Structure 1
Amino acid sequence: MNKQRILFALFLIYFVFAILLNSVGTVILQVINNYGVSKSAASVLEGFKDLPIALVSFMVASFLPRIGYKKAMLAGLALVSAACALMPLLPAFATAKLLFFCTGVAFALVKVSVYSTIGLVAEDRKQHAGMMNMLEGFFMVGVLSAYWLFGHFIDSSDPASASWLQVYWVLSAMCALTFVLVLTTPFDEHAAAPPRAGTLAQDFAAMLKLFFKPLVCVFVLTAFLYVLIEQAVGTWLPTFNNEILMLPAAMSVQVTSIYAGCLAVGRLSAGVLMRRLHWYPVMNTCVLGMGAMVLLALPLTHGVVQNQQVTWATAPIAAFLFPLIGLFMAPIYPGINSVMLSSLPKHQHSAMTGLLVIFSALGGTTGSLITGYVFGTFDGRFAFYLTLAPISIILIMLHFFKKSVDTGSGDVDGSAIMPGQT
């Protein structure tokens, strides 16, 4: 296989889906302004994205190697390309729901396929960790690009303007071009085949059995809580900037790019950092840093007054300080994923990724819905203060995750996990 071409294709797929998946916060802001949708009603867009991810992953992850990772990626790209084209053609809240539903279905196919393909091309654990961090870092570059791409099409002088919908022609074209690249890239998927032939029911049962391993239980719960926090902040930060920090609509979206930029920088550098340091102290430091940023930044949001002439130079300091939480969040997700996946034989990567995607999707929906409800009932400050609860639980779960790794209690497929491996 041409490893570099395959990696480029995988990174580009993740870049495109990063823009689509993390546009939820921006779209929530725009449907509130354009269609008069309430905050609690708009928050269901996260569910339209995440619940299909969980459901489709649950249904297909165990036997996706039989279908083929390349075919799954192509199907996902074709689906979202068509869905994006519908947004400007049929502008409505219902179309936005359909878009995120299609995006969720497609991402379930894509993420399981991409993660599993990383396992096929990586030669050892260190290379796997490096590729995983680069992949997730490139994902955050896509998120960062999304804020500026959408911000370019938003008309701040007319909140009800439909000009922002034109961005979906660009996104549809990007999906189509990525489809062509994947179609013309050769993939060798023989190593993903299970060692023993079995039925679809047996493949599905094998995936469910993974969940009952102590290490896997701790892993998926930690991933659930992490994504809950990341999506709660990422989805509602544009609205927080607009309503609490009194920034214009376009600037509210663009300032949120600092959060995405911090996640991108953190993940791209995490691969280098974690090759030199043990993953556990790095994770603990990151979790404590997340809590510290919440406690430092949110008190600075009080007393902000509306200023029609606000600029980047005159924006409240909290607008720049709070997004720095992304630097500390960044290494956690790819770090625990690499520890888990590199402990499994390659034919189990698809099933394990399926469980990861399911609980990540449920975490994203839970975070968005809870934050949206609290945001509407109380205010954005209280909603973001609540992230301290899952942050504290993650700190505890990391202890049990390390303990399971060190004792080999995550024994899968008949072979114990070696102590301290990352």
Structure 2
Amino acid sequence: MTETTTNNRIIRWLTYLMFMMFAMTSDSVGEIIKEVKVAFSVTNAQASLMHSLPMLGIAMSGLFLGFLADKMGRKPTIILGLAVFGLACYSFLVANDFVFIVSLMTLSGIAVGIFKTGALALIGDISTSTRQHTSTMNGAEAFFGVGAIIGPLIVAYLINQGVAWQWLYVIAGGVCTLLIVIALWVRYPRYMRTHADEAESVSLLQSLKLVKNPYALGFSVGAFLYVAAESAIYVWMPSYLVCDATSLRATYDCYSSGMAQTLAIYSVTAFFVLRAAGRFVGIWMMAHFNWALVLMLFSGAIVVCFFAGLAGGKHLALYLFPLSGIFMSVIYPTFNSKGISCFPKHQHGSIAGVILFFTAAGAAAGPLIMGLVSDAMGGDAKYGFIVATVFAALLFAGLVYNYLADPTAVRLREIEAQEYKDA
């Protein structure tokens, strides 16, 4: 095994662990909000800032700082982002004020935008083809799915043991410190620019211009629609599945069997487990099948799960909504991979930032729109899921077009020949 192969393997695992660490904190926010509302007597709207402001931080950081990975290089950008994230995590040890907590979460979101765009760009540097790029991206998102399971479990365990939830961030800070040490030690691959003046062309202005590119815009809108639909599951599914929101004892009494009641309680965990499992399978699928066909079929299955779950009521949704996690598993990492792969490697950081902006915007705007519609219709979460079904249907329509017209085929072949021929 060559030194380059060993380094690339270490870098790949470093990337996977970064995604897992980020998910441990971001997908635990629902459990944390319950504690913060009691501790600081804040309203639902105020508590929602713990989700929306970090997402806004990621979005702004991705759009306005994504070019750093192309300007400064992958390694300095990743270390910078990890250092800021670690500082924010350790600061939770002294966070005993709501405004301070939200500020730290927002800072961590900005940091995530920095190191994630660097990591996404780095995946292109260690990939030998656009197909391998997609498989690696699915691997990274699979570990994100693992983090999404681990994080809430850690929070629940800490709370049950009488330990402050802030220690989740201290644990994440410890993982972050380890990742910084590994990042400093490992040798990163060099990526070569094709023209001498391209170094000067990498800038915020050039990054913002990418938004108008049809490939960047197409995959970014797809990411927005996907994340907006996905967020309905972990934000609004628990509210939709309850039997009586006014009575704690009657919350799940409408489910006749004990197994159904248990599934209702752990429905979000079931969704995350199925999504994570699907992403590990997706590593193999994307290496063997037409990615456009897989995405079209899977997005159609999501629409079926959502529509049937609404039409059949909560007793059917109890099974179909978590099941959608399998079909959601490969969509976002493939969007990320193919969107980035439509551009030369010296722009991978910038385009990753653009897609990340739309991703975070979907995560912030989707649940908000669903909540507003539900409130306008009397507070029933069913109407929010109708909105989510519309998002899913629009995504399916776009992926049907993508499969039939195959608008990226020529572009991906050109990039394959230009950027990966010597890999």
TM-score category, normalised to shorter length: 0.7 to 0.9
Q: Distance in 2 between matches of 1:238 and 1:174?
A: 30
Structure 1 spans left out of the alignment, 5+ residues: 303-315
Q: Distance in 2 between matches of 1:403 and 1:416?
A: 21
CA positional deviation for 1:66 = 2.3
Of 19, 27, 31, the match for 2:36? 31
CA positional deviation for 1:24 = 2.4
Which residue matches 1:382? Answer: 383
TM-score, normalising length: structure 1: 0.83
Matches for 1:209-288 after TM superposition, within 5 Å: 209-237=209-237, 246=251, 255-288=267-300
Tell me the alpha carbon deviations over residues 80-107 of structure 1, each in whole angstroms, 9 at most, x when there is no partner: 2222233342233223312321121111
Q: Distance in 1 between matches of 2:411 and 2:210?
A: 9
Matches for 1:359-374 after TM superposition, within 5 Å: 359-374=358-373
Conservation of the 8 A alpha-carbon contact between 1:219 and 1:336 = yes
Amino acid at match of 2:231: Q
TM-score, normalising length: structure 2: 0.83
Does residue 1:105 correspond to 2:110, yes or no?
Answer: yes
CA positional deviation for 1:29 = 2.9
Of 37, 44, 47, the match for 1:42? 47
Which residue matches 1:395? Answer: 396
SS of residue matched to 1:91: coil
Q: Distance in 2 between matches of 1:33 and 1:253?
A: 21
Q: Distance in 1 between matches of 2:163 and 2:370?
A: 27
Q: Distance in 2 between matches of 1:416 and 1:71?
A: 26
Does residue 1:14 correspond to 2:13, yes or no?
Answer: no
Which residue matches 2:421? Answer: none
Residues 1:363 and 1:200: Cα distance change in structure 2 (over 3 Å):
farther
Matches for 1:332-343 after TM superposition, within 5 Å: 332-343=331-342
Q: Distance in 1 between matches of 2:45 and 2:375?
A: 7
Conservation of the 8 A alpha-carbon contact between 1:137 and 1:265 = yes
CA positional deviation for 1:410 = 6.1
Tell me the alpha carbon deviations over residues 57-88 of structure 1, each in whole angstroms, 9 at most, x when there is no partner: 22222243222222222222222222223334
CA positional deviation for 1:198 = 5.1
Q: Distance in 2 between matches of 1:201 and 1:122?
A: 24
The alignment covers a number of residue pairs equal to: 397
Conservation of the 8 A alpha-carbon contact between 2:233 and 2:268 = no
Of 306, 325, 330, the match for 1:294? 306
Q: Distance in 1 between matches of 2:129 and 2:33?
A: 42
SS of residue matched to 1:327: helix
Which residue matches 1:356? Answer: 355
Q: Distance in 2 between matches of 1:59 and 1:85?
A: 26
Conservation of the 8 A alpha-carbon contact between 2:278 and 2:327 = yes
Conservation of the 8 A alpha-carbon contact between 1:43 and 1:372 = no
Q: Distance in 1 between matches of 2:123 and 2:72?
A: 17
CA positional deviation for 1:417 = 9.0
Conservation of the 8 A alpha-carbon contact between 1:144 and 1:258 = no
Residues 1:253 and 1:118: Cα distance change in structure 2 (over 3 Å):
farther
Q: Distance in 2 between matches of 1:201 and 1:410?
A: 21
Q: Distance in 1 between matches of 2:85 and 2:50?
A: 16
Over the aligned positions, Cα root-mean-square deviation in angstroms equals 3.2
Tell me the alpha carbon deviations over residues 323-343 of structure 1, each in whole angstroms, 9 at most, x when there is no partner: 221111111111222222223
Amino acid at match of 2:322: P
Amino acid at match of 1:196: A
Moved more, 13-22 or 292-301: 292-301
Which residue matches 2:89? Answer: 84
Does residue 1:66 correspond to 2:66, yes or no?
Answer: no
Tell me the alpha carbon deviations over residues 27-78 of structure 1, each in whole angstroms, 9 at most, x when there is no partner: 2333234333222332222221121212222222224322222222222222
Residues 1:368 and 1:97: Cα distance change in structure 2 (over 3 Å):
farther
Structure 2 spans left out of the alignment, 5+ residues: 254-261, 418-423
Tell me the alpha carbon deviations over residues 193-226 of structure 1, each in whole angstroms, 9 at most, x when there is no partner: 4633257676334333433233332221111111
Residues 1:208 and 1:410: Cα distance change in structure 2 (over 3 Å):
farther
Tell me the alpha carbon deviations over residues 115-174 of structure 1, each in whole angstroms, 9 at most, x when there is no partner: 110000001122111111111111111111112112212349xxxx77333333322222
Conservation of the 8 A alpha-carbon contact between 1:39 and 1:372 = no
SS of residue matched to 2:343: coil
Amino acid at match of 1:217: L
Q: Distance in 1 between matches of 2:150 and 2:370?
A: 24
Amino acid at match of 2:171: V
CA positional deviation for 1:321 = 4.4
